[in-house]
Amino acid sequence: MIEIKNLHASVNGKEILKGINLTVKAGEIHAIMGPNGSGKSTLAQVLAGHPAYQVTQGEVIFEGQNLLDMEPEVRAHAGVFLAFQYPVEIPGVSNSYFLKAGLNEIRKSRGEEELDSMQFLKMLKEKMKIVEMDPSFINRPVNEGFSGGEKKRNEILQMAVLEPKLAILDETDSGLDIDALKIVSSGVNKLKSPKNATIVVTHYQRLLNYIVPDVVHVLVNGRIVKSGGKGLAMELEANGYDFIREEMQQSA
């Protein structure tokens, strides 16, 4: 699905990612964990194509295509989805209008017919059940006046509607209470299929109790320093990130 090779990226001249190597296959869920400031969110933003980040080295192959050459919207058309850590508000634009516009752009790019309003609404209502969202959110402006939990749920709703091949969840668990966390995770699990893949970026292990990863990577100081199974996450939870740092120092 996606192959990241020796990826270096910086923001305002400061290097944040210092050679990331990561391969994710269809059907897999990968978790990326790491302490604050390790570059987790930067990785997510770079994959989505945020203009504030400059890629200085390396390449990313997504479904055989060079991802880094593509505009952010072209990446979205190709099936890359980012659930934002801080979803953006767009006053005056209704949730349904926004999502319909996005979905139809994606469908157009694939040569599929655009959905009309009736078809779209019917589909949207179905998808809203997955994240247990109230239908009133259909006509509310995008993320405006939403609580933190509602915003995160709205991200998963968008993911459900856009049906990406690769979903990147950036700290989707932050700011969620346990009930919201369950709803969001079960949404992600329902959307899982052998054809798509998920990268979960998270600070805490607790999300991984609900979204079970196939592989866990530990990101420290812009590099993946350790990869392993679900057990690695438990180890981190028990010992903190310090033990990784110690291991690194010992090996250095």
Q: In the 8-state DSSP scheme, what is residue 89?
A: P
238 CA to centre of own chain: 25
- Bridge partners, residue 49, by sequence: none
For residue 71, the minimal CB distance to another protein (Å) is: 7
Residue nearer to another protein on the CB measure, 168 or 244? 168
Instruction: CB nearer to another protein: give 83 or 216.
Output: 83
How far apart CA 236 and CA 86 sit, in angstroms, is 25
Q: Which is nearer to another protein, 103 or 184 (CB)?
A: 103
Q: What's the closest the beta carbon of residue 183 comes to another protein, in angstroms?
A: 21
Residue 102 CB, nearest distance to another protein (Å)?
Answer: 4
Q: Which two tokens stand for residue 87?
A: 């979803």
DSSP element (H, E) containing 42: helix 40-48
Pick the closer one to another protein by CB: 163 or 214: 163
Q: Is residue 138 within 8 Å of residue 87, measured between CB atoms?
A: no
Q: Smallest distance from the beta carbon of 99 to another protein, in angstroms? A: 7
Choice between 155 and 173, CB closer to another protein: 155
Residue 2 is encoded by which pair of tokens? 């996606």
- Give least dist CB 88 to another protein, A: 4
Strand extents, DSSP E, the chain: 2-11, 14-24, 29-33, 53-62, 65-66, 80-83, 90-94, 141-142, 166-170, 197-202, 215-220, 223-228
Pairing label, strands 90-94, 197-202: unpaired
Q: Kindly state the smallest distance separating residue 142's Cβ from another protein, in Å.
A: 8
Characterize 31-47 residue by residue with b for buried, 16 or more Cβ atoms within 10 angstroms of its Cβ, and e for exposed: bbbbbeebbbbbbbbbb
Minimum distance of another protein from residue 198's CB (angstroms): 16
DSSP 138: G
Q: Which is nearer to another protein, 97 or 210 (CB)?
A: 97
CB of 31 or CB of 103, closer to another protein? 103
What is the binding site for another protein (CB under 8 A)? 48-52, 71-73, 75-77, 81-82, 84, 87-93, 97-99, 101-103, 105-106, 109, 141, 158, 162
Return d(Cα 227, Cα 118) in angstroms, integer: 46
